[in-house]
Amino acid sequence: MTQPARLRITGGTVYDPANGVDGVVRDVCIEGDQIVAKVPVSAPRLDARGMVVMPGGVDMHAHVAGSSVNHARRLLPEEHAADPLTAPRLEDGAVARSGTGGTVPSTFATGYRYAGLGYTTVMEAAVAPLAARHAHAELDDTPIIDAGFFVLLGNDDYLLRQLAAGEGARARDYVAWLLGTTRGYAIKIVNPGGVAVWKGGGDRRNVSGLDDTLGSSAVTPRKILDALAGAANQLKLPHPVHIHCNNLGQPGNSATTLESMNALSGQRAHFTHLQFHSYGGAPGKGWASAARAVIEYVNAHAEVSVDVGMFGSATTVTADSPVEHLLYASSGRKWVNVDIELESGCGIVPYSYKEKAAVAALQWSVGLELFLLANDPWRVVLSTDHPNGGTFLSYPELIRLLMDRGYRDDRLKAVNQKLLVGSALLDGLAREYTLGEIAIVTRAGPARLLGLKNKGHLAPGADADVTIYANDADRAKMFATPRYVIKAGSLVVEDGQLRRAPAGRRLAVRPEYDAAVTTDVKRFFDQYACVAFENYGAALP
Ligand SMILES: [Zn+2]
């Protein structure tokens, strides 16, 4: 159909959990780029009878733009050759672009494929401030989806200097300035302190716990967590501090994860890719699941939120350089490691998930356990940390695992059982997520955790981002191929085909700060940085 200025989606079964709507047949009305209460009876109609209507999907943690992602693309030419994307044929002869897929798709392919899956908002989860311009340039080239990014701050030299000097207020002003000047959305911490130690190049190449000191200073991972969680809350950022804990992927790391949560007890904080941080056992002594202990803490603490995914074929891309060195050393795969001056690190290693490998099976099962034992879907949402734990294209399969116990039990039998002893999954967890709960963990929940008031719901005033699925008992098929996707009122997917690819919008914050901080930051740039203060950042004129 031609693009209408107004649209009435009629007769669909609506799941809009933010507004208490759980599978109710009702109309959804759109005018321009917003949901409205009603449109004239003469407005064009989209017949959604028998179909499921949800807000557009929201992925709160993915790696889709910026220099680290681009390094990953350059590392993987074989994936480009195996998964070429021809330019889609769009309505009205609009310009469309070809690209490549694989685990790290090109920019255009990323936008097309997220939209084709019913996702309309995506957060890039780790951008070094120095690379902010690059990230914005790539997001400008990623059509359809609204996007923002999280700014890496947990190993930032200027910040650590302020913490060492006890300059808490200046540290907070710096954070606010940095978010504004990079046009970032939230604060990201990756392996607090560990990347700074890695870059130091001495005998010690990582931190091991929350109270390790960094160099001769009194700065510890605990202090970094506390300062940045406090800054996010005091600056009233829409999303709290977003934390990738120390000791990712290591046996026994659940102790560090729980200690980190405890360190911030009472403060809002978001802990990401929890499936990589919930292992029992001990380094050199073996692996076990510690999912139950970790999720029980989350269940009992309303100030904590998390995202969780399950494994598939992946490429690991992270600022956590020491963990990537470990992964490279254990896998022997090709890899990239990049230090980003004064700010962060970056490592990339491709990862093949093999369900017959004992550790991989354990890692897969931990994600499922976390979901099946979680009490509050609003605080335990779905994300694979694309492309780290699997690509976003695996979401339909993961939804089926959550919704279909028979399928899940079959899959469970197929994986290596060696390390699953003690896994709650073997207790025969019967839980099946409902469509309403899936609507929470894939859109309403992440939108709320991100503080995106106009996303993840369908009340008047919300952005007109709507996904309509044919109701299919095979939930993987249903969620892989939405029939219609509407983004900001534009019908981007029609009868399962991409029809339009409008530009997405940027999501960014601009917190207040005492401008005096910039005098000190400029002095720091003059002394240490290769970039002039005046040439830094990505603020719009
Ligand atoms: Zn990530």
Q: How far is CA 315 from CA 37, 72, 74, 84, 312, in A?
A: 44, 8, 12, 18, 10
In this predicted structure, what is the pLDDT of residue 319?
94
Q: What is the CA(387)–ligand 1 centre distance, in A?
A: 8
Grade residue 422 by pLDDT with cuts at 50, 70 and 90. confident
In this predicted structure, what is the pLDDT of residue 436?
98
Grade residue 352 by pLDDT with cuts at 50, 70 and 90. confident
Q: What is the CA(326)–ligand 1 centre distance, in A?
A: 17
Q: What is the CA(128)–ligand 1 centre distance, in A?
A: 13
pLDDT in tens, 265-282: 999 999 999 999 999 999
In this predicted structure, what is the pLDDT of residue 489?
97
User: In sequence order, what E strands does 272-352 have?
Assistant: 279-282, 286-289, 304-308, 314-318, 336-340, 344-351
pLDDT in tens, 501-514: 999 999 999 999 99
**pLDDT beyond 90 at 95:** no
The DSSP H or E segment spanning 410 is: helix 405-414
**pLDDT beyond 80 at 530:** yes
**pLDDT beyond 80 at 3:** no
In this predicted structure, what is the pLDDT of residue 156?
98
Q: What is the CA(385)–ligand 1 centre distance, in A?
A: 5
- 387 preceded by cis ω (within 30°)? yes
Quick one: average pLDDT of 520-540? 94
Q: What is the CA(381)–ligand 1 centre distance, in A?
A: 14
Q: What is the CA(62)–ligand 1 centre distance, in A?
A: 6
Q: What is the CA(477)–ligand 1 centre distance, in A?
A: 26
Report the alpha-carbon distance of residue 314 to residue 103 in Å, rounded: 6
Q: Which of 126, 159, 160, 132 is nearest to 319 (CA)?
A: 126
Q: What is the CA(63)–ligand 1 centre distance, in A?
A: 6
Grade residue 472 by pLDDT with cuts at 50, 70 and 90. very high
Q: What is the CA(12)–ligand 1 centre distance, in A?
A: 35
pLDDT in tens, 116-158: 999 999 999 999 999 999 999 999 999 999 999 999 999 999 9
Quick one: average pLDDT of 319-338? 93
Q: How far is CA 366 from CA 62, 120, 201, 254, 359, in A?
A: 20, 28, 33, 12, 11
Grade residue 426 by pLDDT with cuts at 50, 70 and 90. confident
In this predicted structure, what is the pLDDT of residue 424?
87
**pLDDT beyond 90 at 353:** no
Q: What is the CA(44)–ligand 1 centre distance, in A?
A: 41
Strand partners, 379: none
Q: Are strands 119-127 and 57-62 parallel, antiparallel or unpaired?
A: parallel
Max mean pLDDT among 188-192, 337-341, 354-358 falls in 188-192
**pLDDT beyond 80 at 541:** no
Quick one: average pLDDT of 38-62? 98
**Given its phi and psi angles, is residue 341 left (phi above 0), alpha (psi -120 to 50 degrees) or beta?**
beta
Mean pLDDT over each residue of the chain, to the nearest integer = 95
Q: What is the CA(135)–ligand 1 centre distance, in A?
A: 15
Q: How many CB atoms lie within 10 A of CB 345?
A: 25
In this predicted structure, what is the pLDDT of residue 94?
85
Q: What is the CA(151)–ligand 1 centre distance, in A?
A: 12
Q: What is the CA(378)–ligand 1 centre distance, in A?
A: 20
Q: What is the CA(472)–ligand 1 centre distance, in A?
A: 31
In this predicted structure, what is the pLDDT of residue 421?
84
Q: What is the CA(91)–ligand 1 centre distance, in A?
A: 35
Quick one: average pLDDT of 464-492? 98
pLDDT in tens, 217-236: 789 999 999 999 999 999 99
Q: What is the CA(242)–ligand 1 centre distance, in A?
A: 10
In this predicted structure, what is the pLDDT of residue 201?
86
According to DSSP, residue 11 is labeled S
Q: What is the CA(33)–ligand 1 centre distance, in A?
A: 30
Report the alpha-carbon distance of residue 123 to residue 455 in Å, rounded: 13
Q: What is the CA(412)–ligand 1 centre distance, in A?
A: 26
The structure tokens listed for 204 are 């010690």
Q: What is the CA(316)–ligand 1 centre distance, in A?
A: 9
In this predicted structure, what is the pLDDT of residue 282?
94
Q: What is the CA(259)–ligand 1 centre distance, in A?
A: 21
